[in-house]
Structure 1
Amino acid sequence: MLERKTRKDRTDVTFVLPADQPPGEVSVVGDFNDWRPGTHTLAPRPDGRRAVSVRFPAGQVHYFRYLAAGDYWFNEEAADGHEGANSRLNT
């Protein structure tokens, strides 16, 4: 799930996943962090889900995927679209 807060010149996006699906550590990996795992790792929230927030400039397109333990890559179903193997995010 994606939570968005649109500001004047940016969009704050929070990437949210259930507490244990998939199990283990999960990172958001994309063109905004040079596809480096571990840069944006989801952390537990008080409601039991896991999340990480990233600030993006307004009016851009970014591509990303999730990477879970065991080299398990997967996409965001609530993304703005998908291109090839990647999820698309429009800010």
Structure 2
Amino acid sequence: MLERKQRKHGTEITFVLPADTPPGPVSVVGDFNDWQPGVHVLAPRKDGRRAVTVQLTGRGTHSFRYLAAGDHWFDDEHADSHDGANSRVHT
């Protein structure tokens, strides 16, 4: 799931997943972090879900995927759109 907050210089996107699906560490990897795993790792929230917030500047479309333990890549079914293997978020 994606949560958004408009800010003066862009949009904050919070990437949210259930607490244990999939199990183990998960990071969001996309064009906004040069597709580098481990840069944006989801952390536990008080409500039990996991999340990480990324500041995206300007307007545009960004591609991303999630990377879980065991080299398990997966998409966000709640993304704004998909382009083949990637989820997309529009700012």
Give the TM-score, by structure 1 length: 0.96
User: Deviating runs (4+, > 4 A) in structure 1?
Assistant: none
Structure 1 gaps of 5+ residues are none
Partner of residue 73, structure 1: 73
Partner of residue 18, structure 2: 18
Distance in 1 (alpha carbons) for counterparts of 2:6 and 2:79: 16
Identity of aligned residues (%): 69
Structure 2 gaps of 5+ residues are none
Count residues in correspondence.
91
Tell me whether 1:6 sits opposite 2:6 in the alignment. yes
Give the TM-score, by structure 2 length: 0.96
Q: What is the CA deviation profile of residues 1-60 of structure 1, one whole-angstrom value per residue up to 9, with x for unaligned ones?
A: 000001233100000000000000000000111111000000000111000000001311
**RMSD value, Cα:** 0.8
